[in-house]
Structure 1
């Protein structure tokens, strides 16, 4: 990082992201961001009005990292690309979910993000109501999956740690046969990765949305 570069809102927000990546959401402060940039905290206020303004800008920065569906992308491809990208961003920045939940002032990147997702669904034939429902369901899945990955007591990307964890919990499941069966089934091969389940769950959701889209189209055409 070149500390001789002039300060700007962009540099300050990027520094805040680095601070959060190292220390988590609680580490975000004007003092820590200033330290990351090699300047006094007071100098940041020439570019960012307050800590709240910084947090709003950082939230917008998160949404700017997410790949959006292209203007010509089929709806399913667009939703798959966007959901996978959103999950990757949230996993790369574990503090992002806490930040997003705390903010109420949408920025330009967030609005552009939402507009692009809704636009992709509308171009795919979704009614306004079904597009809104689909957006909510996909987001709930993406955010929930990322939150679970963040809180798992083992690395969700690897099979070794999940197998070791299964070995630790199996003795506690003697009175819970269905849980024991599930754990044994998932980890018995030694190849289970929780993270790999993301695409499977997303496909289940998109399959159902496709059926609802078809039903909506048939209802509008009188069943023909």
Structure 2
């Protein structure tokens, strides 16, 4: 084992090796603790050596995201649009569960990385090949939101803390203060009823596997119904009439 580690340390640096080492380090310790200094230490090089391959921390994060997104499986070529989209999204979710820091990193970027753009282009391409109009495909992508990338942002988000974004265990749902619960009783009872499989939680709030697939299937069923009806947005209808 020691010989293997020493061999890796002697392997010449490349951009791919730097990015994959950064992904592995974030998997192990969380994205918050990742720095150019501790990445260089992990690779057995001086920090300045990294800057030949990534110009700064932002470029490092973009590259790490692209490494992760590159692990998402493409659907089978014989799948219908609904099965293909579902397969791709659930593969994205499995990928993010291997890299629990990735949703936070994706949310932090101001612009989509090339791999994310390619992934989204593939999802939209599947919809268009399935007969979707540009108008409907546009609204579908809005409705999916971050769910198309395998994670969701939820209403009952009392656990937005390091336990969910790092390697710690998520906290159980907590009751609202009595005065708040009395004022908003329906919110209180639903928030307290949140019981999730901690082993399948990704991201924050109610984003566990069951809730994720429940919402995904609701969306896909509704989208399928609109597609069969030949739905168009009111704006699109006005443009066609003109």
**Per-residue Cα deviation, 1:194-213 (whole angstroms, up to 9, x for no partner):** 52222111111111101110
* Conserved? CA contact 1:145–1:198, under 8 Å: no
Against the structure 1 CA distance between its residues 149 and 112, is the aligned structure 2 distance closer, same or farther, given a 3 Å change threshold? farther
Q: What TM-score, normalized to structure 1?
A: 0.74
Q: Name 1:221's counterpart in structure 2.
A: none
Q: What TM-score, normalized to structure 2?
A: 0.69
- 1:86 Cα deviation from its structure 2 partner: 2.1
**Which consecutive aligned stretches of 4+ in structure 1 deviate over 6 angstroms post-superposition?**
152-155, 183-186
2:105 aligns with one of 96, 99, 103 = 99
Where 2:13 maps in the other structure, the secondary structure is coil
- The whole-number CA distance in structure 1 between the counterparts of 2:162 and 2:181 is 21
Q: Name 1:114's counterpart in structure 2.
A: 120
**Structure 2 portions without partners, runs of 5+:** 165-169, 198-205, 233-242
Pair 1:216 & 2:230 matched: yes
Where 1:46 maps in the other structure, the secondary structure is coil
1:6 aligns with one of 12, 17, 24 = 12
- The whole-number CA distance in structure 1 between the counterparts of 2:152 and 2:112 is 22
- 1:26 Cα deviation from its structure 2 partner: 2.9
- 1:34 Cα deviation from its structure 2 partner: 0.8
Pair 1:123 & 2:129 matched: yes
Aligned length: 205
**Structure 1 portions without partners, runs of 5+:** 156-160, 219-224
Q: Which structure's residues are more often helix, by fraction? A: 1
- 1:8 Cα deviation from its structure 2 partner: 1.2
- The whole-number CA distance in structure 2 between the counterparts of 1:82 and 1:125 is 18
Q: Name 1:203's counterpart in structure 2.
A: 217
- The whole-number CA distance in structure 1 between the counterparts of 2:175 and 2:137 is 41
Q: Name 1:151's counterpart in structure 2.
A: 160
- 1:146 Cα deviation from its structure 2 partner: 8.1
Pair 1:178 & 2:192 matched: no
